[in-house]
Structure 1
Amino acid sequence: MSRAAKIGRRSFLIGSAAVAGGVAFGVVLYRRPHDNPLLDRLEPGQAALTPYVLVTADGVTLITPRADLGQGAYHLQAALIAEELDVTLDQVTVDPGPPDPAYYNTALAGDAVPFPATDDGFLARTSRAVMDAPMKFMGIQITGGSTTVPDAWDKLRHAGAVARETLKAAAEVKTGTPRSAMQTEQGAVILPDGSRLPYTDLATEAAALEPVTDVVLRDPAQWRLIGQDMQRLDIVAKSTGTQGYGIDLKFDDMLHAAVRSNPRPGGAMLAHDATAARAMRGVQQIVPITGGIGVLADNSWRAMQAVQAIEIDWGPAPFPPEMDAHWQALADSFTDDRIDSRNRDDGDVDATLAASDQVTAEYRAPYLAHAPLEPVNATVRVTPERVDVWTATQIPRFVQTHVAEITGHDSADVHVHVQMAGGSFGHRLEDLVVRQAAELAMAAPGRPVKLTLSREEDMAHDYPRQIAMARGRGAVADGRVMACDLGIAMPSVIASQMGRLGLPVAGPDLQIVAGAWDQPFAIPHYRVTGYRAPALAPISSWRSVGASTNGFFHDSFLDELIHAAGADPLEERLRLCTHAPSRKVLEAVGEMSNWGSPLPQGRGRGVAYCLSFGVPCAEVVELTATQDGIRIDKVFVAAEVGRVIDPINFENQVQGGVIWGLGHAIMAETTFSDGQTEQRNFDSFPFLRQYQCPVITVRGLENDSHVRGVGEPPVPPAAPALANAIFAATGQRLRDMPFNRHIDFV
């Protein structure tokens, strides 16, 4: 039996092998794992066992399958492997690898079960393990939910350790020196006499060995990279303008494309007249696509100009055309028949409220576009034998499947080349642009077709953040919060998004109550109810998903109750908090901001807390009410993630999340009129300007035993911390966003 045949039947256990003249290493957690995707890349004389580390004659390549959207995912994944492999980051290159079930996300199950992240009991752990099984069997390869680091933490360090020990075993074969007498350093095996054998010189011997799977991860005291300030792998390219993105791709014989779809998302194209467009310079083809029409031309500008020249009769929107009806649908959803979940129901809320003077409030959060800076794009080439797709995506396997359905190819013949993304915030969890590019490429077989959406086309057809409304009732007594009843109404993000991906959806949508029901506060009478509103405009995941609205609802109402009780906002949160790591986060942000120290008149501090994606995060905003409006001076942030891999990247991620949360809370919304989005570019969908940006001080805590991601958790507390600070400075409560509809900012 040939070695290749033996490898083909081998279980995907921790292992190593040669790839492209070298060695590949990886790790998985289950006995019957997925096949190794790198076997399909083999050429004569090459071998592969597992998919995370490739050692070739040219150097070390690390496979980093979680998409890089600007958050440093490639860098962090590479650092985790490199820590145990004993290579420096300047010795490696990274490759996102092919779409494959082997790269399924092992951390997605955490938010899919009705147990708070603070619950580490047997039933909670068992439920997460059970939910992980279908993720594995379906091979759900998704980047999202702040899961890149939790998914990679053990998996990739084990991969590096197995690779390291197998290379030492290869050196033993080559030299006869016992493996126990060897060390590794900077990409080489060090023999007892001090001589060095570079990893690249050991590929052939390593490929012939069974992997050394009995490895022990290094003690944190021995770490060279984890916890240290690092220079991100992409920082030089991004600082010098040389980083390549999907929009930068160029191929010989490439056609450029532009599209127009019904500006009422989901509506039909009833009729069109492309006579004028066909006569325009550079136009090669007019191609009808699902829900609209596209133009193929010799450059993108001519394609965009031509597609605008097409006269089109559009059908109506399949949802209420005006915003008043959207808000009314939410208001009408606070009924028993619309209850989606009630996972938090402590004490006797109804009796307590009936016997008390109630504090009541209603909050609103608007639709919000993703609006990544890089214009959304995809390049597709279709030939009879294969399809190639070049795009930035968080869902490469879904892209592969959907393109195969469009072109009629087997999914194995659809090759997705994942590109660095110039922003996402959840946008790249959708693949509309890829589907459209595939339809267009079918009209020009053999030629690469690059579809670039204009900013206006993208924002008109973005699947925005959910619209949401909350109603709170509460009671206080003896200076304490005694009762909190919070109802939240929104359409189901999961049903909308997963429906487009073709995934089955059953049971409650926990995103309706995420960031609210699971907060670790011991309010004696405490209820959080999620109401599933009817489907309105199509929606999708937006940075921190349900918690992006619910963090504002829950903490703002808690702050109102604390004020009604006459208690200190930070002290009462600490008194109510039952989760030790969360208490330390609140204590830290209080110490950082010098909470309780006097402020001059017209200045105010607001504190907010939200547990999302397993991460306790607390923020204090300090601001000044000037004659011209509110000026945000400082923001202090503390977050508990279990382990900070790269402090610089951690700080950047947290600061970016705060800016994202503040900017959208102050000035951004997506609204519909006649079924069409009214905000089509950055002039009508603004962001926080540099002169408005406060000084942001960050502290990462490492008290929890679970390692978490921090891409999204800084977002939910930003809006309530700002609103609470505005109340402290001015006495004005802000209960719906954007805030600049009610108050001026400078």
Structure 2
Amino acid sequence: MGKLRTLTRRTFLIGSAAIAGGVAFGAYMVMRPIRNPLLDGLAEGEAAITPYIKITPQGITLITPRADMGQGAYSIQALLIAEELDIDPATATITPGTPGPAYYNAAVLAEGTPFPAYDTSTLAETVRDFMSVPAKLFEVQLTGGSSTVPDSYTKLRTAGAVARETLKEAAARRHGLQRADLNTEDGHVILPDGTRLPYTELAGDAAKLEPVTDLELRPAGRWKRLGQPQKRLDMVAKCTGTETYGIDLKVDGMVHATVRANPGIGGGIERLDSAAAEATEGVMMVLPITSAVAVIARNTWSAFQGANALDITWGPAPFPADSGRMFEVLEEALGNEDAFDHCQRDVGDVDAALQGGTGLTATYRVPYLAHAPMEPMNALVTVTETDCDIWTGTQIPLFIRNRAAEMTGLPADRIHIHVQKMGGSFGHRLEMTHVEQALEIAIALRGTPVKLVWSREEDMTHDYPRPAAVARGRGRVQDGKVESFDLAVAQSGMTSGWFTRLAGMGIPGPDATITTGSWDQPYDIPNYRVTGYRAPDMVPVSSWRSVGASSNGFFHDCLLDELIHEAGADPLAERIRLCMDDTSRKVLEAVGELAQWTGPHVGYRHGRGVGFCMSFGVPCAQIVEVTQTPDGIRLDRVFVAVDVGQVLDPVNLEAQVTGGVLFGLGHAMNCELTYADHAPEQSNFDSFTGLRLYQVPEIKVKALSNGPRIRGIGEPAVPPAAPALANAIFAATGQRIRELPLNRHVDFV
């Protein structure tokens, strides 16, 4: 930690964890400290020892820059700081702060390295650590990829420890003592004689000192809060309906707006008749904007009614008109050399191995899926001659800042992003179309605050959905074992289009999301190949909760289950035998113990299915138990085992795992976006139906802590749910389903 001692009090090296871990770089741009933004406007008697903690005589503020979309991100970030700062986080003010370079995400790009998560070789770990470099250089302040905890675990604890020790040093100097002789407790420095000095009283003295960085973080055995059940800081507000989201904001003098855009994203407007809309009560004006028409009114309801009255003829979209043709495009790409994208897993001689033994060929497919968060997209924007203020729930604040600077012509430092709490996202708020629309309206109405809210129908039909995909699997078994596994996946690219929308340029090279969740599974199959084919771009697509693993988990695990059945082996025992990663093997063993596994058949028309997927470095195994009733399939119980390396809050971990399971099951059972005449046919929750309350099964969760790295849990429980359910249906009924949603083939009760 010696390098940290060279810092001045006005800077703090966010990337210190990488240096401490042995990844050091000589380039100035990499090594340079990032200025602490909390020092701007700091008053006498106030201290901002790191970018994450501000202490004033009135209280303590903790900066939690990773966005909270309902997953408890603010609470866990505050808890990480509070553990080392030695305060009760409930006594502090929690805020995401002002977005800026200091809050880049050092962990989010690590998932994109060409190494499976179970590869812990020196090379793999070095490359993963190196990915913090481009994240820092390009100021990637982004929430996603289950990276909040991996990014924050050391960073925020270090921030809390630096502040704690600096406050102790301030107290020691004031009283002529040695820092080593002082202790802390609940926001106080404790002197040897028992005197308690509040941090708020020491802030002024601490602000004059160099940050104390010669320290050690507390080991898990000395944690006071981490690792123990916690009450989320937002729980009371959410349970009482008093939480405030972006959609709830009000400012004096604001107008309300909504939009109608071409349901075939990318298509234009051929004809517009706005007379009926302009005559609607409460409507103030109709404003054509880029690829859409805005209706500005005195309230949101009037804006919605005016938008419904618009008479618009839309131009054609640049993709096939219906779902049937879209799947034809995907199938044409599958195995087409011209569409070949990458092959990251090719072990043994698959082609030769497929010539002998008992063989299997199967085709799988999954549909487009909307994100469909409960809170539709919204933004409140004010543009003046000198400043631009944007209030919105977002996972990409600096991308929005940069786009706003382009659109308004204002300097980036005059763009003020106020990140709001969000009523869900699932990846939807990795986009900024709604903010661009609000900006365009606000520029036209310069000086007037504009609150834009999408209707539910606009949100559903103008989403950038999870890609549809098809896969073809082949394999052979021999002597009761799986010997050959060949999976080819085709879908449109996800990453390049998303980055083009954000930064104006695509990402060259293969799109790893096409096979993520399939090529990187920890199985030692003698002949093993996973190939990705990139289909032509069709409906513009984006990240959906668990990204590529959301579909590839279904493809990979269903094919493996079919091969295990062909071999006559036990579904759980054969997965355990094939598993070459100790952490994953223990997860599979744990879920078997939790479920008291005795095999897939547990009674007449009563079956169990196993699902496993490693995503975002987290091995997650699930066993789903179902019963075939006269009215359809009933979900009975789900058993889940995961390993995140270190459990920081067992209560929230269980909530995230349970939520992920229900999210995965509901979408696997019922949800799809189908297209006709270029437009989605599902526009609200009546036609895009998740799991109903009466269908929710009993869920038991077991968390392990054997993994070598700390991991996040917001997404990894989603991918195994669909294959575990499909495999359970096969065990109960003998019906093998290779297409989602499952309700195309069976009824659920």
Please say whether Structure 1 and Structure 2 have the same fold, judged by a TM-score greater than 0.5: yes
**Partner of residue 198, structure 2:** 198
Letter in 2 for 1:376: M
Shift in CA distance, 41/145, structure 1 to aligned 2, threshold 3 Å: farther
Q: Contact 2:571 / 2:610 at 8 angstroms: preserved in 1?
A: yes
Deviations 1:339-368 (A, max 9, x none): 111111111100010233420100000000
**1:548 aligns with one of 550, 556, 568:** 550
CA distance in 2 between partners of 1:642 and 1:525 (Å): 30
**Partner of residue 319, structure 2:** 319
**Partner of residue 534, structure 1:** 536
Deviations 1:468-490 (A, max 9, x none): 11100100000000000000111
Q: Contact 1:593 / 1:636 at 8 angstroms: preserved in 2?
A: yes
Instruction: Give the deviation of 1:49 after TM superposition.
Output: 5.0
**Partner of residue 24, structure 2:** none
**Bigger shift: residues 6-15 or 672-681:** 6-15
Where 1:400 maps in the other structure, the secondary structure is helix
Letter in 2 for 1:315: G
Q: Contact 2:99 / 2:417 at 8 angstroms: preserved in 1?
A: yes
**Partner of residue 422, structure 1:** 423
**Partner of residue 352, structure 2:** 351
CA distance in 2 between partners of 1:323 and 1:164 (Å): 58
Q: In the TM superposition, what are the counterparts of 1:591-670 in structure 2 within 5 Å? A: 591-596=593-598, 599-670=602-673
Letter in 2 for 1:493: M
Within the alignment, does 1:396 sit opposite 2:391 as a pair? Answer: no
CA distance in 1 between partners of 2:223 and 2:454 (Å): 45
Unaligned runs of 5+ in 1: 1-5, 16-28
Q: TM-score, normalised by structure 2?
A: 0.95
Q: Contact 1:14 / 1:211 at 8 angstroms: preserved in 2?
A: no
Q: Contact 1:12 / 1:35 at 8 angstroms: preserved in 2?
A: yes
CA distance in 1 between partners of 2:362 and 2:697 (Å): 29
Shift in CA distance, 369/593, structure 1 to aligned 2, threshold 3 Å: same
Deviations 1:699-718 (A, max 9, x none): 11101120000110000000
**Partner of residue 85, structure 2:** 85
CA distance in 1 between partners of 2:511 and 2:39 (Å): 38
**Partner of residue 342, structure 1:** 343
Q: In the TM superposition, what are the counterparts of 1:365-404 in structure 2 within 5 Å? A: 365-404=366-405
Within the alignment, does 1:477 sit opposite 2:472 as a pair? Answer: no
**1:704 aligns with one of 707, 719, 728:** 707
Give the count of matched residue pairs: 729
Letter in 1 for 2:585: R
Q: Contact 1:667 / 1:687 at 8 angstroms: preserved in 2?
A: yes
Where 1:545 maps in the other structure, the secondary structure is coil
**Bigger shift: residues 269-278 or 328-337:** 269-278
Within the alignment, does 1:676 sit opposite 2:676 as a pair? Answer: no
Letter in 1 for 2:204: T
Letter in 1 for 2:545: R
Q: Contact 1:14 / 1:213 at 8 angstroms: preserved in 2?
A: no
Letter in 1 for 2:341: D
Deviations 1:694-737 (A, max 9, x none): 00101111011200001100000000000001101110001000
Where 1:599 maps in the other structure, the secondary structure is strand
Q: TM-score, normalised by structure 1?
A: 0.96
Letter in 2 for 1:725: A
**Partner of residue 20, structure 2:** none
Letter in 2 for 1:392: G
Instruction: Give the deviation of 1:307 after TM superposition.
Output: 1.9
Letter in 2 for 1:632: L
Instruction: Give the deviation of 1:636 after TM superposition.
Output: 0.3
Within the alignment, does 1:715 sit opposite 2:718 as a pair? Answer: yes
CA distance in 1 between partners of 2:45 and 2:193 (Å): 32
Q: In the TM superposition, what are the counterparts of 1:565-580 in structure 2 within 5 Å? A: 565-580=567-582
Within the alignment, does 1:691 sit opposite 2:694 as a pair? Answer: yes
CA distance in 2 between partners of 1:109 and 1:140 (Å): 9
**2:563 aligns with one of 558, 561, 566:** 561
Instruction: Give the deviation of 1:318 after TM superposition.
Output: 0.9
Q: Contact 1:8 / 1:39 at 8 angstroms: preserved in 2?
A: no
Instruction: Give the deviation of 1:10 after TM superposition.
Output: 5.2
Instruction: Give the deviation of 1:645 after TM superposition.
Output: 0.8
Letter in 1 for 2:445: A
**Bigger shift: residues 475-484 or 39-48:** 39-48
Deviations 1:630-688 (A, max 9, x none): 00000000001001111010000000000000000000000111000110001110110
Shift in CA distance, 216/45, structure 1 to aligned 2, threshold 3 Å: closer
Identity of aligned residues (%): 57
Q: In the TM superposition, what are the counterparts of 1:285-324 in structure 2 within 5 Å? A: 285-324=285-324
Letter in 2 for 1:58: Q
Q: Contact 2:271 / 2:312 at 8 angstroms: preserved in 1?
A: yes
Where 1:588 maps in the other structure, the secondary structure is helix
Letter in 1 for 2:597: W
CA distance in 2 between partners of 1:406 and 1:343 (Å): 40
Deviations 1:552-591 (A, max 9, x none): 0000000000000000000000000000000000000000
Shift in CA distance, 557/337, structure 1 to aligned 2, threshold 3 Å: same
- Runs of 4 or more above 6 Å deviation: 6-9
Instruction: Give the deviation of 1:460 after TM superposition.
Output: 1.1
Q: In the TM superposition, what are the counterparts of 1:150-549 in structure 2 within 5 Å? A: 150-333=150-333, 334-502=335-503, 503-549=505-551
Instruction: Give the deviation of 1:77 after TM superposition.
Output: 0.3
CA distance in 2 between partners of 1:413 and 1:556 (Å): 52
Q: Contact 2:14 / 2:155 at 8 angstroms: preserved in 1?
A: no
CA distance in 1 between partners of 2:192 and 2:116 (Å): 51
Shift in CA distance, 152/237, structure 1 to aligned 2, threshold 3 Å: same
Within the alignment, does 1:126 sit opposite 2:126 as a pair? Answer: yes
**Partner of residue 148, structure 1:** 148
Instruction: Give the deviation of 1:337 after TM superposition.
Output: 2.2
Q: Contact 1:603 / 1:624 at 8 angstroms: preserved in 2?
A: yes
Shift in CA distance, 43/444, structure 1 to aligned 2, threshold 3 Å: farther
Where 1:710 maps in the other structure, the secondary structure is coil
**Partner of residue 730, structure 1:** 733
Deviations 1:237-275 (A, max 9, x none): 101111100011111111000111111111111231222
CA distance in 2 between partners of 1:40 and 1:271 (Å): 51
Where 1:715 maps in the other structure, the secondary structure is coil
**Partner of residue 109, structure 1:** 109
Instruction: Give the deviation of 1:403 after TM superposition.
Output: 1.5
**Partner of residue 59, structure 1:** 59
Instruction: Give the deviation of 1:547 after TM superposition.
Output: 0.2
Shift in CA distance, 415/688, structure 1 to aligned 2, threshold 3 Å: same
Letter in 2 for 1:549: S
CA distance in 2 between partners of 1:83 and 1:129 (Å): 25
**Partner of residue 24, structure 1:** none
CA distance in 2 between partners of 1:116 and 1:105 (Å): 20
Q: Contact 1:666 / 1:740 at 8 angstroms: preserved in 2?
A: yes
Q: Contact 2:45 / 2:57 at 8 angstroms: preserved in 1?
A: no
CA distance in 1 between partners of 2:624 and 2:289 (Å): 48
Letter in 1 for 2:246: G
Instruction: Give the deviation of 1:224 after TM superposition.
Output: 0.8
CA distance in 1 between partners of 2:44 and 2:204 (Å): 13
**Bigger shift: residues 543-552 or 591-600:** 591-600
Shift in CA distance, 57/723, structure 1 to aligned 2, threshold 3 Å: same
**Bigger shift: residues 578-587 or 346-355:** 346-355
Q: Contact 1:261 / 1:291 at 8 angstroms: preserved in 2?
A: yes
Q: Contact 1:277 / 1:310 at 8 angstroms: preserved in 2?
A: yes
Letter in 1 for 2:519: W
**Partner of residue 26, structure 1:** none
Letter in 2 for 1:138: F
Where 1:358 maps in the other structure, the secondary structure is strand
Shift in CA distance, 451/573, structure 1 to aligned 2, threshold 3 Å: same
Q: Contact 2:9 / 2:211 at 8 angstroms: preserved in 1?
A: no
Letter in 1 for 2:696: C
